[in-house]
Amino acid sequence: MGQRDVVHALLDRAGTGYAAAAGIQLADKPAPLFQLLMLSELLSTRISADLAVDAAKELIDSGYRTPRRVADADWQELVDALGRAHYRRYDESTASRLGAMAATILDRYDGDLRKLADEADRDPTRAADLLQQFKGIGPVGADIFLREVQDVWTWVRPHFDERALHGAERVDLPTDPDRLAELAPRGQVADLAAALVRVTLDDDIAEEVRAGDR
């Protein structure tokens, strides 16, 4: 099985992006970009990815889709929404960080993260630095955001963080980001990156893909 076959097998098995799994319809628009930032904060906490995705979905389904809606929410309402998704270990601190994040987006970017892209001059390194100025977003959270957004903000491509590259190594794919992006079908670079991350979290995925290569 060639490298493109491995990529297609990975996408079939684990190629749903984390944003899509949370019900976020990614587009270069204020609401979905904010929802992705919330998801990135949730995923960067020391809790399972599945719980983080469920928590983001619960927040979105409960109407917390925009910075204004989150900033105006009562703190306990956010805690309760996180609790409904069983995101309880960090629910109180996370609710506080989400509120602070929403307020910063409103104050600095008029509620529109596309203005962060403008401020970064569409430079991925600068964008990562700006993302980390949000409370609760560190290097891991910035990587998650950029990894997921790269097929919408195409100037970010290719963005395969350390974990995704480790996943590529596990299934004998190149660890060069440009080469990985070339192997991905059009518009699915972010999906491939997400699948490679899942390889590092689930040994069964790597085993199934490697078995198909024998």
Tens-place pLDDT, residues 127-180 = 999 999 999 999 999 999 999 999 999 999 999 999 999 999 999 999 999 999
pLDDT attached to residue 35:
99
187 pLDDT above the threshold of 90: yes
Q: How far apart are CA 141 and CA 67, in angstroms?
A: 18
Which residue is associated with the tokens 């959270």?
A: 141
Q: What is the pLDDT of residues 47-97, one digit of tens each?
A: 899 999 999 999 999 999 999 999 999 999 999 999 999 988 788 999 999
Q: Which of 94, 92, 45, 103 is nearest to 69 (CA)?
A: 103
Q: Taking the CA atoms of the chain, what radius of gyration do you get in angstroms?
A: 17
pTM of the model: 0.95
Residues 6+ apart with CB under 8 A from 66: 30, 31, 34, 111
Contact by Cβ (8 Å): 41, 136: yes
pLDDT attached to residue 15:
87
In residues, how long is the chain? 214
Cβ neighbours, 10 Å, residue 203:
10
Which residue is associated with the tokens 């919330």?
A: 38
Tokens matching residue 138: 């560190």
The correct answer on CATH 2.60.120.10 for the domain covering 22-137 is: no
Q: Where residue 46 falls among pLDDT bands split at 50, 70, 90?
A: confident
Tokens matching residue 214: 């024998």
Tokens matching residue 101: 């994040």
Domain with CATH 1.10.340.30 in the chain: 22-137
Collapsing DSSP to helix, strand or coil, 175 comes out as coil
Backbone angles phi, psi at 132, to 5 degrees: -75, -5
Residues 6+ apart with CB under 8 A from 115: 108, 109
Q: Which of 134, 39, 131, 135 is nearest to 87 (CA)?
A: 39
